Chains A and B, each alone.
Chain A
Amino acid sequence: MTKLRRKVYMVAGYNTISMGTGRKEFHPKKPRPDLEDYIKEAGQAVLKMIGGAKNVDETVIGNFIGALFNRQANMAAFAPMIDEGLRYKPAIRVEGACGTGALALATGIKSILAETAEVALILGVEVQNTVKAMYGADILAAAGWAKERKTGHAYFFPGKFSDRSKAYAEKFGADKTRAAMAKWYQNAIENARLCPTAQEFHNNTNDLIACGMNKPNPKGFVDSLNFFDCSKVSDGASAIAIVSEEGLKRCGISKKDAVEIIGFGQAEEDITKPPADHTKLSTTKVAVEKAMQMAGITKEQIGTVECHDCFTIAGIMATEAIGFAEHGKGPDFVIEGNTSRTGSVPFNTTGGLIGWGHPTGATGVHQAVTIWEQLTGKAGDAQIEIKPEKPYGLTINMGGDDKSLVSIVYKRAE
């Protein structure tokens, strides 16, 4: 697909709070909102903005692994719970590990392109604080190849990205890599403090760099990452509507409140194979290239990026995968401040996975909501300036260790 055969828009985004440690409301032993609550909150908020359930042709629910966290499968059937108006309408649940959210978006985009829907409600949700971290690690390990679980680290995914971080540090310098990871953490928290739904919104630590510089403790955790390098365990949901030109009219939404999807790219890599090069996000690179090619834009035209920083090192590698920095120069790019909110291309302006939170199945949708907010001027305190020569937003959502990728290019509709 070189070009979208039809105009596709996103409108009416909504994020619940990303709940987990760090939020004042969070207490591990006290009752909390559950899947149903988050689905209703996000779903109903979007329906309200688009004129109600009657306007919706189809619902897509993204959820990674409620079957294990919540003993719940068949999640599409939660759609009619959001609103009775969705009863007997089509709904589908998609899954691609932490890349689930953007796969839900891609599914919606394709429905619009296929003209099987003019308005699709897209919702991502995950509730993960139901188990302690060491058991959550077992569940999340399903995003990797199950046959590798036995030889993997107790904290399986931190283990995978610790290997990447180690390889990167060995090849390009440990001090520089660590300093960039600390800087990434600082940016993430500073951005999250501007977004009331962010998990780190209440974070008031003074010296964020000092946190980021903490020496990893291989005995208690992994070799090359500290806790601050990792996104936290989060509960939450995000939702947005994907609509056609006709859908916009049906919902009565003006173009200034919409973003247009200019291009998107999907790429899948073999889950049974280790990364060919631990210092690169090769699949990410392919997905971004496809999206940009479809959009017909260059990286210089990108005004803001939401990338998949499940770990600080993944954020740094993403700057290289997009092409902002040469291989080995991502840390310099970050340390120089290019990715901070006042830099040449602000990344993760509401905190990203590390600062805003990572309710896995919701993350891809959350990224789209953030870009929609930024490009339409709805980002509140987190609003950045979108310059006319750089009008595009880019998202990258990743499932597993650079396995299931979706990248999307957005622009404010006109």
Chain B
Amino acid sequence: MNYTEKLQNVSVLGAAGKMGSGILLLTAMEMADLSLKPENKGKHFVLNAMDVSSEALLGLMKYVKAQVLKAAEKKIVGLRDFYADREDLINNSEIINQYVEDVLFIIRPTTVLEATYESSVIFEAIKEDPALKVKIFKQINENSKTKPWFCTNTSSIPINELDSKAGLNGRVLGVHFYNPPAIQKLVEIIKTDKTEADLVEFANTFSKNLKKIVVPSADFAGFVGNGHFMRDALHGIKEAEELAKKYSFTEAVYMMNKISQEYLIRPMGIFQLIDYVGIDVCQYIMSVMNPYLKDEDLHSSLLDKMIEIGVRGGQNFDGSQKDGFLKYDKGRPVAIYDVNKKSYMNIADFQAKCDAELGKMADSVKPWKAVVGDKGKDDYLKGYYNDLKTLKAMGSELAIKYAKRSKEIGLKLVADKVANNYNDVNTVLLTGFFHAYGPINDYI
């Protein structure tokens, strides 16, 4: 495999989307860095940014420019070496501007699929629609002159299914970035039993050059990340539905969101995370995964109901949060949607009551922010969970139950051979979901 040769002509499909834009940015910089190496002088590098939305492509270029500028400023020390022989570039500012230009000049925004026919590698991040992905892969594969490699960003569709339906003969691999790709460190790599070894090697090298942490996952719908997240979310939803028998719906959602954030010391509560990913996306991923699961029904009628009403969550193009289960003011939850009354209820109106119902929190509890980077967190968490166990309040009991379920999900992913080992499951949650600790632990 000639890594550089493979990266001389690349396409990103869905380049203007949430995931596509990040993948495009990282790929463009990796290609530019290659093009600047002395041994690659004179070689051409082309990166097609393909998307059906012309308008979004315009926004994409602005996004990429701003991001490359930031990245260039950060790596100015190395860039000065890259441009050491360019006598006209003296100041950091000149070098940074040149780098931004060099990256941007590699990118060719296009709405035409034919542009991808000369690419050796295709990164795909169009919407999670198996039929659409298959159709496009097939079209490119049949028209391409290069027998390209397909790296799909699908969150849930088995890679094997894409391979066989599109007739790719082992030239497809799951390269699953996390949102946003430019920041999230985790990449799950999913090969099938047919995937070409060279392609796997390429993806590993590529991910490492992007300074990502690679976790291999078996080709099983949902892979490791969503395999855990979707079940974890379903647990939170079911617990809330249970609580809603005794409390109002909004109170129940508030309580489970608090349990899953503050009690479990996670960066966000489960309902906030569902909003962040998008209620529709969660619903969809569950629906794609569900047919492959034997003894399990991965489905939530509550999600269906929210979508039906038209409350979806997800993010605006600028990365700000749209309202979903929760309503946000400058990124902070301020109200909760009542599915029965079809309106948002201010958290402040029922917070005190709910907190009292949940009972005392452990004195040793700390916010996620204070724990995540702490070197001594293992000892701390052992102590914290011990405290939680002795509390015997509704909140602490729900939290322990939640943590147990989260661990059980993790263990099953290994038992089902979706993840290679416990460590891989924990790495996915630590790096892909920014948890302070892995679900497979001996705290509970």
CB distance from B68 to the nearest CB of A (A): 14
Q: Which residues of the partner chain A approach B235 to less than 8 Å between Cβ atoms?
A: none
Chain A residues in the interface with B (C-beta under 8 A):
132, 134-135, 137-138, 141, 149-150, 153-155, 218-221
* Contact A219:B78 (CB < 8 A) given known A134-B96, A137-B92, A149-B91: yes
Q: Which residues of the partner chain A approach B87 to less than 8 Å between Cβ atoms?
A: 150
Which residue of A is nearest B81, CB measured? A154
Bound-state Cα–Cα, A137 to B76, Å: 11
Assess the B76–A150 pair: CB atoms within 8 A: no
Q: Which residues of the partner chain B approach A137 to less than 8 Å between Cβ atoms?
A: 92
Bound-state Cα–Cα, A141 to B93, Å: 12
Assess the B77–A135 pair: CB atoms within 8 A: no
* Contact A149:B90 (CB < 8 A) given known A132-B73, A134-B73: yes
The 10 nearest A-B residue pairs measured at CB:
A138-B91, A154-B76, A154-B77, A134-B76, A134-B92, A154-B80, A138-B92, A150-B90, A149-B90, A134-B73
For B67-92 the 0/1 string (1 means CB < 8 A from A) is 00000011011111000000100111
Q: Which residues of the partner chain A approach B78 to less than 8 Å between Cβ atoms?
A: 219
Apart from A137-B92, A149-B91, A220-B74, what are 4 other A-B pairs with CB-CB below 8 Å? A132-B73, A134-B76, A154-B79, A155-B77
CB distance from B96 to the nearest CB of A (A): 7
Assess the A138–B93 pair: CB atoms within 8 A: yes
Interface class of chain A by DSSP: loop
> How big is chain B's contact interface, by range?
10 to 19
Bound-state Cα–Cα, A409 to B3, Å: 65
Which residue of A is nearest B83, CB measured? A150
Bound-state Cα–Cα, A149 to B79, Å: 14
Which residue of B is nearest A138, CB measured? B91
Bound-state Cα–Cα, A115 to B171, Å: 88
Bound-state Cα–Cα, A219 to B75, Å: 8
Bound-state Cα–Cα, A220 to B80, Å: 12
CB distance from A318 to the nearest CB of B (A): 28
Q: Please provide the chain B residues from 33 to 90 with a CB less than 8 Å away from any CB of chain A in the complex.
A: 73-74, 76-80, 87, 90
Q: Which residues of the partner chain B approach A153 to less than 8 Å between Cβ atoms?
A: 77, 80
Which of A135, A218, A219 contacts B92, CB < 8 Å? A135
Q: Which residues of the partner chain B approach A150 to less than 8 Å between Cβ atoms?
A: 87, 90
Bound-state Cα–Cα, A153 to B80, Å: 8
Bound-state Cα–Cα, A137 to B79, Å: 15
For B297-335 the 0/1 string (1 means CB < 8 A from A) is 000000000000000000000000000000000000000
CB distance from B90 to the nearest CB of A (A): 5
CB distance from B94 to the nearest CB of A (A): 9
CB distance from B91 to the nearest CB of A (A): 4
Which of A138, A141, A220 contacts B77, CB < 8 Å? A220
Q: Which residues of the partner chain A approach B91 to less than 8 Å between Cβ atoms?
A: 138, 141, 149
Bound-state Cα–Cα, A150 to B91, Å: 7
Bound-state Cα–Cα, A277 to B274, Å: 63
Q: Which residues of the partner chain B approach A218 to less than 8 Å between Cβ atoms?
A: 77
CB distance from B378 to the nearest CB of A (A): 22
Which residue of A is nearest B77, CB measured? A154
Q: Please provide the chain B residues from 74 to 132 with a CB less than 8 Å away from any CB of chain A in the complex.
A: 74, 76-80, 87, 90-93, 96
Which residue of A is nearest B89, CB measured? A150
- A135, A150, A219, most chain B CB atoms within 10 A: A150
Assess the A135–B93 pair: CB atoms within 8 A: yes
Bound-state Cα–Cα, A150 to B78, Å: 14
Bound-state Cα–Cα, A235 to B93, Å: 21
Which residue of B is nearest A152, CB measured? B80
CB distance from A68 to the nearest CB of B (A): 10
Which residue of B is nearest A156, CB measured? B92
Q: Which residues of the partner chain A approach B79 to less than 8 Å between Cβ atoms?
A: 154
Bound-state Cα–Cα, A320 to B77, Å: 32
Bound-state Cα–Cα, A155 to B80, Å: 10
CB distance from A222 to the nearest CB of B (A): 8
CB distance from B86 to the nearest CB of A (A): 9
Bound-state Cα–Cα, A149 to B88, Å: 12
Bound-state Cα–Cα, A150 to B92, Å: 9
Q: Which residues of the partner chain B approach A135 to less than 8 Å between Cβ atoms?
A: 92-93
Bound-state Cα–Cα, A155 to B73, Å: 12
